Amino acid sequence: MSLHSSFNLPPKVWRRTPIGKYLRLIPRKKQLKGTWLHRKLGDKLLRTEYWEPSIESISKGFAIGSFWAMIPMPFQMVPSGICAVLFRANVPLALLGVWVTNPITHPFVMVFQLFLGEWLLNAPSSLNVLENQGFIALLHHAPAPFLTGVLVCAVVWSTAGFFISRLCYKIATALIAKSYERRRAR
């Protein structure tokens, strides 16, 4: 059995594997049919390339989600989902990739992005403004270093996410194939 063909097995087979308990959580097309989202977006939402796992769609989906995770804005899942549809990437993984950062970790990521931008642009430190006046005043004081740090983090993190997700896909397909072969041998 080929390494990449293990997802081509019937769902009954790969859902019984150790990874299958996590793959079961991903919504399937039949669950989305008739929902309000399907009525709004039409059948384009149900195209197989958006939902079926392949190494290309999964790596693109996670890279898109990772990119939008580094952008400090509310409702990051919306542009991530739109980009996933536009670039024909895996939609569930693009939406999941956004949660690399969350409301608890994002302030720390934003401070790191500011310090990275200051270091890259050789700008003076804005730590006094951050401590005394808060983050909104800091954005008025030093927007260029912050935006530089945001863009660099987004590009680097999405590139890393692209390659990490490809590696995870290969490991997952190998584990599924190994489990399938073990079961067939019994």
* 169, 56 Cβ separation under 8 angstroms: no
pLDDT at 4: 44
In angstroms, rounded to a whole number, what is the distance separating the alpha carbons of residues 21 and 34? 25
pLDDT at 3: 41
pLDDT at 89: 87
pLDDT at 157: 92
Q: How many domains does the chain contain in total?
A: 1
> Could you count the other beta carbons within 10 Å of the beta carbon of residue 157?
20
Domain containing 127 equals 3-185
> Could you count the other beta carbons within 10 Å of the beta carbon of residue 46?
15
Residue 73, Ramachandran bin (φ over 0: left; ψ between -120 and 50: alpha; else beta) = beta
Residues of the chain with pLDDT under 50: 1-6
Query: Model confidence over 18-50: pLDDT tens digits?
Result: 666 666 666 666 676 777 666 766 666 667 677
Q: Which amino acid is at 147?
A: L
The DSSP code sequence of 85-134 is HHTT--HHHHHHHGGGS-TTTHHHHHHHHHHHHHHHHTPPP-HHHHHHH-
Give the three-class secondary structure for 139.
helix
Inter-helix orientation angle 55-69/77-86, to 10°: 150
